[in-house]
């Protein structure tokens, strides 16, 4: 073992460092099977290194967490809500869309069994903690061909990506009744008139055609 000297290269060694080096050298080298002698405990401040720094890091983290949460809470209260646009989905009001096409609503002669005239309609806006979201639904030949999200949540709201996942998820995953092969459909009460073009009537007709009694 070389005797320790007071420099590493050209630089003098920190006395604390020197002390540590002395301790290391003083320890017997480890051999297989020999017990590890515990390092001599340092006394005083050095026994708990960086104690102050650790405590302040912990305190700072905890305080920041709480304060940030409070900041978000306060900011959330200040977000203006846009209120609800009442009206049914056949309301031909076109929103000021920042995205894609807004085909003008055509109220031309529609086939007797088309419920909704072709065009883009404003879905009802939703204003809650998820933000201000307005959906635009495009009908073509009585079918929904596109759903556009006209107004994304902004500012202090859940992420566009999580929300965007929530919105298109429902629409794009709309299940084809034929593929699902359901026996019956639960929905808001249809009248005898709207029954004619409903899914339920298609199912009933299919059952009748199959000769299931009646």
Partner 1 sequence: MSVHHVEHVMGTTVSIDLVDSHDRSLVDELVAWLYEVDEVFSPYKEHSLISRIGRGEVAPTDTEVPHDVREVLQRCGELAEATDGAFDVWSQPSPNGTRFDPCGYVKGWSVQRAAHLVRSRGVADFCINAGGDVVLGGYDHDGCPWKVGIRHPFDPQSLALVLHEVGPVAIATSGTYERGAHIVDPRTGRPSTELASATVIGPDLAQADAFATTVCVMGVEGLHWLAGQPGYSGCVITAAGRLVTTDSFNRHRAA
Partner 2 sequence: MNSWMWFLTRSTGIVAGVLGVASLVWGLYFSARNTGTRLKPNWWLALHNFLGGLTLGFIALHMLVSLLDTDIGLRFVDLLWPSSEVGWAIGWGVVAFWLFAIVVLPSVARIRRRLKRKAWHLAHLLAVPAVVLSGVHAYQTGSDSLSVWFTRGLALLVGISIYPLTVRLLGLAQHRRVAA
Looking at residue 196, what DSSP letter applies?
T
Task: Name the burial class of residue 143, with classes exposed (0-12), middle (13-18) and buried (19+) by CB atoms within 10 angstroms of its CB.
Answer: exposed
Q: Which stretch binds partner 1 (CB under 8 A): 2-10, 53-61, 99-107, 128-136?
A: 128-136
**For residue 198, how many other CB atoms are within 10 A of its CB?**
16
Q: Does 166 bind partner 1 (CB under 8 A)?
A: yes
Are the C-beta atoms of 116 and 139 separated by less than 8 Å? Answer: yes
144 binds, among partner 2, partner 1, none (CB under 5 to 8 A by kind): partner 1
Q: How far is the CB of 165 from partner 2 (least distance, A)?
A: 6
Are the C-beta atoms of 115 and 197 separated by less than 8 Å? Answer: yes
Measured CA to CA, the distance from residue 195 to residue 109 in angstroms comes to: 21
C-beta of 75 vs 165, nearer to partner 1: 165
27 binds, among partner 2, partner 1, none (CB under 5 to 8 A by kind): none
List of residues 6+ apart from 157 with CB closer than 8 A: 79, 129, 130, 131, 163
CA of 136: how far to CAs of 80, 96, 97, 120, 148, in Å? Answer: 22, 10, 9, 6, 5
17 binds, among partner 2, partner 1, none (CB under 5 to 8 A by kind): partner 2
Longest dimension (CA), the chain: 107
Measured CA to CA, the distance from residue 84 to residue 68 in angstroms comes to: 30
73 binds, among partner 2, partner 1, none (CB under 5 to 8 A by kind): partner 2
Q: Does 183 bind partner 1 (CB under 8 A)?
A: yes
97 binds, among partner 1, partner 2, none (CB under 5 to 8 A by kind): none
Bridge partner residues of 172 (DSSP)? none
Q: Does 88 bind partner 1 (CB under 8 A)?
A: yes
C-beta of 23 vs 174, nearer to partner 1: 174
Binding region for partner 2 (CB under 8 A): 8, 11, 14, 16-17, 20, 46, 49-50, 53-54, 57-58, 61, 64-70, 72-73, 76, 129, 153-162, 165
Residues near partner 1, by CB under 8 A = 84-89, 115, 123-126, 128, 130, 133-135, 137, 143-144, 147, 166-167, 169-171, 174-177, 180-192, 194-195, 197-201, 203-204, 207-208, 212-214
């Amino acid at each position: 073992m070389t005797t320790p000297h007071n420099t590493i290269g050209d630089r003098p060694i920190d006395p604390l460092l020197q002390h540590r080096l002395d301790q290391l050298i003083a320890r017997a080298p480890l051999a297989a099977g020999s017990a590890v002698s515990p390092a001599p405990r340092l006394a005083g401040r050095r026994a708990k290194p960086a104690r102050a720094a650790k405590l302040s890091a912990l305190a700072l983290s905890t305080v920041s967490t709480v304060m940030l949460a409070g900041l978000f809470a306060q900011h959330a209260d200040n977000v203006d809500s846009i209120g609800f646009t009442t009206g049914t989905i056949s309301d031909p009001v076109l929103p000021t869309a920042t995205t894609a096409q807004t085909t003008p609503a055509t109220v031309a002669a529609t086939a007797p069994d088309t419920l909704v005239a072709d065009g883009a309609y404003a879905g009802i806006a939703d204003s809650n903690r998820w933000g201000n979201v307005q959906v635009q639904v495009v009908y073509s030949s009585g079918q929904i061909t596109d759903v556009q999200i006209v107004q994304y949540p902004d500012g202090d709201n859940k992420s566009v990506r999580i929300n965007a996942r929530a919105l298109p998820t429902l629409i794009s995953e709309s299940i084809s009744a034929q593929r699902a092969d359901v026996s019956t459909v639960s929905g808001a009460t249809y009248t005898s008139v709207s029954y004619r073009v409903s899914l339920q009537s298609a199912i009933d007709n299919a059952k009748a055609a199959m000769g299931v009694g009646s």
